[in-house]
Structures are given as structure tokens and as C-alpha cells.
Structure 1
Amino acid sequence: MKTLENQTLLYDEDCPLCSLYTTGFVKSGMLDENGRKSYCQLSTEEQNFVDLKRAPNEIALINNETKTVTYGIDSLIKVIGFSFPLIEKIATVKPIHFILKKLYSFVSFNRKVIIPGNVKEENKLQCTPDFNYKYRFLFIGFALTLTSFILFGYSNLIPILPKSNITREIILAFGQIVFQSLFLFKFNKQAVINYAGNLMTVSLFGSLTLMPILILNQFFQLPQTIILGWFGMTVLIMFLEHFRRVKVLKLPFYLSFTWILYRILALLLILNI
């Protein structure tokens, strides 16, 4: 594999996802040993030619020889394309590049709600992306829709529940956002929307965890003990992840218990309709 030398990719050290894939570039040999660097560790000289407003939103690739910088999806295309030229040719075709750029922005602006990490507040430079309402609402809508469809399929595997429909699942998923928001009335709008993004990530994660059972049930008639047991295990994992995220976001701990309360109320409502 060809190594792109004398290039440094700036990453968000508070983002586990960013740390993971930039480490992968170095370990795979796409970048040399000095090919990644935390944005927070930018030198004074580097701060003179790196766009400090753009870099938190679009990962920056510094050419250490020419002191020039590439941003966003173009940085990733340059790194990957150096080892795989065909990928670079395909990715730079205008329609494909446009789609990749939008997908990159979708992930980048939502990375703090997809996989949140603890912020090191002592760092003078913070690699925090701008709060983008469009991409945040798109993410919430995407997670809500996918979650609703998966839960629709899974709930129909449980005979004791009334037959489900997509409308019911969408209402229940959206209802949780509204219900939880009632307990955040003291916080500003961005904090509430940020929490809503994390809430839907937990729901999406839980739904994807249910997918193996949905797939297996297409080939085998699984017993109810497995279906219910898997669902119970998934809820427990979701609760623990929700609790962790609430702590990271420095929000009231009781949100995890109102999260459970809503699910109990929703179940009682479903059983009595």
C-alpha cells in the first residue's frame, strides 16, 4: 500500500469515531507515522494557514512541504486515493463527489451525537463542529424513520402485542422526544436538540441490535423466549448507553428514568388500545 508522506491529518481527539479512522489510516500505511495530529495540538505556525473555523467542520489535511490545506471529503479522497487511484477517479466525478460531500457533512456535523466523547475543557483549541440545524434535523428524521420501521417488524414478532403499524411506531418514537423535552425546559434550544439527537442515536442503536433476530426469523421460527430475551437485553444496553450519554452531556441523571417511564406508559397504552 502506498504511503502519503509529509501530510498530516487533523482529527478531533474528543471524537472516538475520528480517532478510530485516522488511526486506521496510519496503521494501514496510508499515512506515515506522523500522519495524524490532534486539532487541539496545532502549533502557532500552523494556526496561521489552517482555517480554524472550517477545520472543526471539515477534517483538514496539511501538506507539510507546501503549507497548504485540503478540507473535508477532499482530504479523505486524497488519503485513500493515493493508495487506491481508481477510488479517487470515481469519487471526483461531479455527481458522486456532490453526494459524498453531502454525506460527509451529514456525519461530520452530527459526529458529537453519533458517538459522543468527554471534552477536555483544558484545551485552548476545541474541535467542535458548528451547530447545524439542517443536518441535525435530518439525522433525527433519519434515525426516527429507520427505528420506526425496525420496531414495526420486531413488534409483530410478539403475539401479546396488538398488531403494529408504521404510523404507531413513528408516533411513539417522536412522542419520546417530546416527552423527554418536557424535562429540559430550563435548558436552551440547542441543548434540547442536541439531546434529541443523542436520544435518537440510542434508539437507532437499539433497533439495529434487534436486526439479527428479524433476519434469523425469516429462516427459522424462533421461540418467544429468545425474541423477548433479546429485546430485554437490548433495552438494558440502551438504558446503560443513555445513562452514559446523559453524563457526558452533563444533563440531569433523571432523564434516564423518565426514558424508562415513557416506555412503560407507551406499553400500557398499546396494550389497552
Structure 2
Amino acid sequence: MKTLENQTLLYDEDCPLCSLYTTGFVKSGMLDENGRKSYCQLSAEEQNFIDLKRATNEIALVDNKTKTVTYGIDSLIKVVGFSFPVIEKIATTKPIHFILKKMYSFVSYNRKVIIPGNVSEENKLQCIPDFNYKYRFLFIAFALTITSFVLFGYSDLIPVLPKTNIFREVALAFGQIIFQSLFLFKFDKRTIMNYAGNLMTVSLMGSLILLPILILNQFINIPEIVVLGWFAITVLIMFAEHFRRIKILKLPFYLSYTWILYRILALALILN
């Protein structure tokens, strides 16, 4: 693995995802031991030539010799491409680069709802991405779609449930956003959208946990008790994760209980 030396990625220390992949670059040898640095620890000199606003949305790669900066997907392409030139060549072609740039923005603007972390409020510099309604709505739509299709398939494995259709599952998934938002009417739109993003991430996580059973059932007949047990465990994991996120967001704890209430009401509606 070729090492890109004298280059430093400025990562968001309050973003577990950012910390994970930048650490991976260093441990794999793609970057040297000084190849990552927290955005919050920028020196006064570095702040003079780095676009601080842009760096919150697009990870910055600083050339420590020339004092030049690369941002966003181009930073990642530069790091990976130094070890794998073929990848860089492919990634820099216009159609591929366009797609990668959009995918990067999709993740970057939603990173605080995909894997949220506790914010270190004592830091003067905060690496908080701009709030982007377009990418937030796209993320919610993406999570809602995956959740709906997985639940549509999983419900067929539970005989006690009446025959479903994809439209009902979409309505149920979207309905929880509306239902939970009713208990946030005192909060501003941005807070509600942040919560909605976290809410759908929890649903997406639950769907991914259910997915192995759906796949395995294509090859063997899984007993109903296993299907129900796996579903119950998934709900418990989702509840715990929802509760954790509520704490991070500093929102009322009762949202976790209304989250359960919605599922009880939805189940009662389905069975009637």
C-alpha cells in the first residue's frame, strides 16, 4: 500500500462514521501517522487558508507542504487513488465523478442522522454540516422505501397478519413520521427534520436486521417461532437505539414511548 505523505484529512470528531474511515486510511497505510486531524483542532494558521465553511460539508485534505486544500469526494479519490491509480482514473471520469459527488453529498449532509455522536460542546470550532432539505428528504425517502419493501416481505412470514401490500407498508412507515411529529409541534422545522432523519435511520436499521431472515427463508423454511422471535429482538434493538438517539438530540424522552404507541395502534388497525 503506497502512503500519501504530508497530507492530512480534517475529520469531524463528533461523527463516528468519519472517525472510522479516516482511522482506516491511517491504519491501512494510505496516509501516514499524521494523516488525520480533528477539524476542531485546527490551528490559527490553518484556519487562514482552509475554507472552514466548506470543510464542514466536504472533508478537507490539506497538503502540508504547499498549504493547498482538496475538498469532498476529490479528497477521498486522491487518498485512495494514490494507492490504486486505476480507481482514481475511473473515479475521475465525468459520469462516474458526478455520481460519486452526489453520493458523497447524500452521506455527508446526512451523516449526523445516519450515525449520530455526542457533540463536544467545549470545542470552539464545530464541524456541523449545513442543513440541506433536499438531501434530508432524499434520505428519508430512501430509508422509507427500503423499510417498506423489507416489511412487506417479512409480513408474509407471519401467518397471523392479514395479507398486506406495498402501499400499506409505505403508509405505515410514513405514518410514524407524521404521528411522532405531532408531539414535536413546539419545536422548529429543522429539529423535526433532524428527528425524522434519525427516526427513519432506526427503521432502516431494523429492516437490515430483518433482511437475513428474508434471504434465508428463500432457501429453507424458517419456523414461525424463529420469525416472531427475531422480529421481537429487532424491535427491542430499535427501541434502544431510538432511546439513545433521543438522548443525543436532547429531545423529550416520551418520544420513545409514543414510538411504541404508534406500533401498537398500527398493529390493532392491521388486525381489525
TM (norm. structure 2) is 1.00
Q: Look up the match of 2:195.
A: 195
SS of the residue 1:55 aligns to:
helix
**Amino acid of the residue matched to residue 59 of structure 1?**
I
Q: Look up the match of 1:102.
A: 102
Structure 2, unaligned stretches of length 5 or more? Answer: none
SS of the residue 2:69 aligns to:
strand
Structure with the larger helix share: 2
Rounded Cα–Cα distance in structure 1 between residues aligned with 2:9 and 2:194: 27
Residues 211-242 of structure 1: per-residue CA shift (max 9 Å, x gap): 00000100001100100000000000000000
Q: Look up the match of 1:217.
A: 217
SS of the residue 1:70 aligns to:
strand
Query: For 1:54-73, what aligned pairs fall within 5 Å after superposition?
Result: 54-73=54-73
Residues 140-194 of structure 1: per-residue CA shift (max 9 Å, x gap): 0000011000000000110000011000000000000000000001100000010
Rounded Cα–Cα distance in structure 2 between residues aligned with 1:47 and 1:153: 51
In the TM superposition, residue 78 of structure 1 has moved relative to its aligned partner by 0.1
Rounded Cα–Cα distance in structure 2 between residues aligned with 1:266 and 1:70: 49
Rounded Cα–Cα distance in structure 1 between residues aligned with 2:167 and 2:196: 20
Q: Look up the match of 1:3.
A: 3
Residues 84-128 of structure 1: per-residue CA shift (max 9 Å, x gap): 000000000000000000000000000000000000011000000
**Amino acid of the residue matched to residue 271 of structure 2?**
L
1:142 is aligned to 2:142: yes
Rounded Cα–Cα distance in structure 2 between residues aligned with 1:224 and 1:248: 36
SS of the residue 1:48 aligns to:
helix
Q: Look up the match of 1:167.
A: 167
SS of the residue 2:49 aligns to:
coil
**Amino acid of the residue matched to residue 207 of structure 1?**
S
1:47 is aligned to 2:47: yes
Rounded Cα–Cα distance in structure 1 between residues aligned with 2:128 and 2:229: 39
Residues 24-73 of structure 1: per-residue CA shift (max 9 Å, x gap): 00000000000000000000000000001100000000000000000000
Q: Look up the match of 1:117.
A: 117
Rounded Cα–Cα distance in structure 2 between residues aligned with 1:11 and 1:132: 20
Rounded Cα–Cα distance in structure 2 between residues aligned with 1:239 and 1:255: 11
Q: Look up the match of 1:158.
A: 158
**Amino acid of the residue matched to residue 98 of structure 2?**
F
SS of the residue 2:57 aligns to:
coil
**Amino acid of the residue matched to residue 21 of structure 1?**
Y
Aligned length: 272
Q: Look up the match of 2:205.
A: 205
Query: For 1:4-19, what aligned pairs fall within 5 Å after superposition?
Result: 4-19=4-19
Q: Give me the identity figure in percent.
A: 83
Rounded Cα–Cα distance in structure 2 between residues aligned with 1:94 and 1:73: 13
Q: Look up the match of 1:87.
A: 87
C-alpha RMSD of matched pairs (Å): 0.3
Q: Look up the match of 1:76.
A: 76
* Runs ≥4 residues deviating over 2 A: none
